[in-house]
Amino acid sequence: MLQGARHEHCEAIQHAAHEMNTEVKIVQLRKASDIDDSIQGLVLPGGESTTMRIASQSESLLDGIFTWMTNFPDRPVLGTCAGAILLANPGGNLAPFIDVEVARNAWGRQKFSFEAPLVIVMDTPDKISNAEFELARDKFNHKPLPMATQAETTTRHISGRIYWGSKIHSRVNKMPKNSDAR
């Protein structure tokens, strides 16, 4: 399994499904053979992208994920933090799945990373409202990348695919605990 905040992502998905009164089945993928056509969407959790690449080699997990994404281009994929890096730079001979410039955190611990203004406009069921995120500069006064203000167009409308990359750190940990998420 890709390392990172996978348990927190499972809890957040379960919480969102509960709020929307929707059933979801979460399948944690550990090897390429776990991936099949029954999967309706993927979440690539945060972590460290280089570590994720190395750790997935023995079971060909990333290769399987990228093959699934190529075979099912209309199914949604969410990459947070390192997952977004993998979508932007899948490696090998693969073209990026999302067209963004990735700037890794080079100024200390992740808790000091900046937040950028972002309004996400997505086609969603009526019971989900469009998301708006409050943003600020980091303690180093870093300026968000110019593309951050255009996220609603670059994340949703790439070749008709629904791939979204995001940076989520400590806030995902503030979701209510759900003992059913494993």
Q: What is the pLDDT of residues 123-138, one digit of tens each?
A: 555 444 444 444 455 5
> In the structure, what pLDDT confidence band is assigned to residue 25 with cuts at 50, 70 and 90?
very high
> In the structure, what pLDDT confidence band is assigned to residue 110 with cuts at 50, 70 and 90?
low
Q: What is the value of pTM for the model shown? A: 0.61
From CA 44, how far away is CA 28, in angstroms rounded? 11
CA 16 to centroid of chain Cα atoms:
15
pLDDT value of position 159: 42
Q: Is the pLDDT of residue 37 over 60?
A: yes
pLDDT value of position 118: 61
Q: Kindly report which listed range (109-113, 161-165, 167-171) carries the lowest average pLDDT score.
A: 167-171
Single out the residue of 128, 179, 135, 149 nearest to residue 11, CA to CA.
179
**What is the share, in percent, of the chain residues with pLDDT greater than 70?**
54
Beta bridge partners of residue 161, listed in sequence order: 158
User: Which is higher by pLDDT, 14 or 180?
Assistant: 14
User: Which is higher by pLDDT, 129 or 114?
Assistant: 114
> In the structure, what pLDDT confidence band is assigned to residue 105 with cuts at 50, 70 and 90?
low
Q: Is the pLDDT of residue 73 over 80?
A: yes
From CA 118, how far away is CA 124, in angstroms rounded? 17
pLDDT value of position 58: 80
> In the structure, what pLDDT confidence band is assigned to residue 161 with cuts at 50, 70 and 90?
low
Tokens of 137: 């500069």
Render the burial of 122-147: b for 16+ CB within 10 Å, e for the rest: eeeeeeeeeeeeeeeebeeebebeee
pLDDT value of position 98: 85
